[in-house]
Structure 1
Amino acid sequence: MEYKPKISLVVNGDTFSYKLFEALKHVSKTYSQRKASKNLGISHAVLNRRIKEAEEKLGFKLVFSTGAGSELTDNGNKLLQKYEKYENRLKKRGKLIICGGYASSRLLETLISEYGLDAAVYKTGDKDAIYLASLDMVDILTLDDPVHAFINDLDFTPIAYDHLTLVSSSNIHIKNINNLNGKNFVEITDSEQRFAWNTLDDKKINYKLIEKVTSPYDALKFVKDNPNSYTFISSSLSDGSNIIKNETRHIISVVICNKEDERINDFLNYILTFNGQKIIEKCGFESLI
């Protein structure tokens, strides 16, 4: 069976059927209410009544007559554009959308290139990516930190291991975790850095968070501009000291949001094969194999 959703739009408490917007769409294309009604397979009177009833509820005109036919008013165009924006979200996407954490989405970017998958990749924090996925705007969700999958009860698939490296313009001098006592750190909000902070807390390291940023790239820039500061970054994104590699080893995972597209299942199977895992290693991650 084939399913095609049709949506209504609620404006100021009144619900307007998709039939109104189909009428407006055809009027905007044909510049004629008679041609629009013919294309829709309804009478001119029915189409005119749909428009007039909507105008009465909305309190403004949607269509106006010209010497050559009919056109949408500015308000009519704005309303139709708003409807089409929501309508487009329901359409089957030709190009798959992948969105997730900075490290994991970067990995997926390489994997789709090697595999030949037609997809667009968007890098952001895990929380923002999960929000977009909840709006049905994502086909594959990637997560840097597995805790977000557990918190949101997501059905995730591990694809690699990652760990955090200590980064600073002077990190070559850090040989032991105890040397981090009294150091200043840059925090990346809602990131896998929690593994690092938990480790430092467990080791009773006295450290200070002096800056908060939203991406690892901002953190790298800050420590570059401030020589006496440190941060923890995914090993796939930056070289650094591996003094807490074992303590911060964690899963990189994906969540399949669009389970009906066969391309995604085939791609996931490829990621988990020997060839896919070798690419993962080349990207600076640890394979599952």
Structure 2
Amino acid sequence: MDIEPLPGMKINGHEMDHRFLETLRVIGETFSQRKAARILGVTPQVLNRRVLRAESLLGVKLVKSSGAGSELTPEGMEILRTYLRQLKILSGSGRLMVAAGYVSSNLAEVLIDRSGVEASLFSCCDDDIFQLAERSMLDIIFLDDPLQAYQRDLDFVPVAYDHLVLVGGDAATMRELDGSSFVGVEGSVQRLAWEVLSDAGISFEVVREVRSPYHAHRIVSNDRKLMTFLSASQFSGPEILKNETRHVISAVVCRESEGVEKFMEFIMGDGQEAVLEAGFEPLH
């Protein structure tokens, strides 16, 4: 089934459907309202009414006509450029668009390299990933914390395991952490460590929160009074909460395509060797 999505747009509070946007596109290509009408399968009068109605609603001139033909005004070109960008996003470029959490982006990078797929990779926190996904820009997302997928009721695929290590301290037991001060990473799987310590009756305080685990690592490296828990795949330290903080690194498919299907097949098969290479624990 050949499905071609054609988006509408809201401009200055007014809904503009794909028929008007396609009218601008074809006029911009042909420099002729008469030719544009023929291509779109409407009469020149219908096409002209579309343009005039939009100009009246928006209060600007969109098409300029002369004896040499018709061309889009700067305002018309601005609308057309935005429309063409949306078409490109919806149709896909052949290059996979992948976003991953700060930790799982290291895994995604190795998987992309070993699979040979053409892909662009964006690294950000899990919350920002969903902001990108809502704009229909992504094919696949990798999440550091599986809770993000659970909370949004998403179908996710486990691709690897990870756990947390203590960074900035050398405690051998949880009891040695009593009274400690920590640096937290917002919206991260650190929540597992805090839950375990709280349940064990350990007194501790998260004195500062940052967005990136690498920022947290820099802070504790420069302040010997502070500690943090970070992913074992990327950092080293005592594994006093290894079993309690073992968690899944997951992938969520945002947009189905042949390229996405092949990439996911690689991840679940031969790609598990790359999982180990990236410092994570394979599924099997």
For residue 258 of structure 1, report the CA deviation from its aligned partner: 2.2
Please tell me the residue identity of whatever aligns with 1:250: H
Please tell me the residue identity of whatever aligns with 1:286: E
Please tell me the residue identity of whatever aligns with 2:279: G
CA displacement, residues 148-186 of structure 1 (integer Å, 9 cap, x when unaligned): 221111111112110011112xx2x32222222222211
Aligned 8 A contact 1:24 1:76 in 2? yes
Q: TM-score, normalised by structure 2?
A: 0.90
Tell me the residue number matched to 2:96: 96
Tell me the residue number matched to 2:235: 238
Please tell me the residue identity of whatever aligns with 1:266: K
Aligned 8 A contact 2:33 2:47 in 1? yes
> Which one of 248, 260, 265 corresponds to residue 264 of structure 1?
260
Tell me the residue number matched to 1:194: 191
Tell me the residue number matched to 1:139: 139
d(CA) in 2 for partners of 1:85, 1:111: 28
> Which one of 176, 180, 204 corresponds to residue 179 of structure 1?
176
d(CA) in 2 for partners of 1:89, 1:258: 11
Which of 228-237 and 79-88 deviates more?
79-88
Aligned 8 A contact 1:26 1:36 in 2? yes
d(CA) in 2 for partners of 1:82, 1:269: 35
The secondary structure found in structure 1 opposite 2:239 is: coil
For residue 247 of structure 1, report the CA deviation from its aligned partner: 1.2
Tell me the residue number matched to 1:18: 18
Tell me the residue number matched to 2:274: 279
Which of 122-131 and 187-196 deviates more?
122-131
The secondary structure found in structure 2 opposite 1:98 is: strand
Which of 188-197 and 248-257 deviates more?
248-257
CA displacement, residues 204-229 of structure 1 (integer Å, 9 cap, x when unaligned): 22212111111111111222232321
Tell me the residue number matched to 1:57: 57
Which of 191-200 and 145-154 deviates more?
145-154
The secondary structure found in structure 1 opposite 2:250 is: strand
Aligned 8 A contact 2:100 2:108 in 1? no
Aligned 8 A contact 1:55 1:62 in 2? yes
For residue 121 of structure 1, report the CA deviation from its aligned partner: 1.5
Which of 233-242 and 176-185 deviates more?
176-185
d(CA) in 2 for partners of 1:53, 1:277: 57
The secondary structure found in structure 1 opposite 2:103 is: helix
The secondary structure found in structure 1 opposite 2:47 is: helix
Tell me the residue number matched to 2:105: 105
Tell me the residue number matched to 1:217: 214
Tell me the residue number matched to 1:70: 70
CA displacement, residues 220-279 of structure 1 (integer Å, 9 cap, x when unaligned): 1222232321111111121222121111111111112223x2332232222222x32222
Pair 1:266–1:80, CA change in 2 (3 A):
closer
2:82 is aligned with 1:82: yes
Tell me the residue number matched to 2:250: 253
Aligned 8 A contact 1:236 1:283 in 2? yes
d(CA) in 2 for partners of 1:287, 1:17: 48
d(CA) in 2 for partners of 1:208, 1:14: 51
Please tell me the residue identity of whatever aligns with 2:165: T
d(CA) in 2 for partners of 1:78, 1:276: 43
CA displacement, residues 31-54 of structure 1 (integer Å, 9 cap, x when unaligned): 443444454454443332221121
Aligned 8 A contact 2:184 2:190 in 1? yes
Which of 246-255 and 263-272 deviates more?
263-272
Please tell me the residue identity of whatever aligns with 1:100: A
The secondary structure found in structure 2 opposite 1:102 is: coil
Percent identical residues: 41
d(CA) in 1 for partners of 2:67, 2:208: 64
Pair 1:67–1:262, CA change in 2 (3 A):
closer
Q: Please tell me the root mean square deviation across aligned C-alpha atoms, in Å.
A: 2.1
Please tell me the residue identity of whatever aligns with 2:75: N
Aligned 8 A contact 1:98 1:105 in 2? no
For residue 61 of structure 1, report the CA deviation from its aligned partner: 1.1
Which of 8-17 and 174-183 deviates more?
8-17
Please tell me the residue identity of whatever aligns with 2:274: I
For residue 91 of structure 1, report the CA deviation from its aligned partner: 1.1
Tell me the residue number matched to 2:46: 46
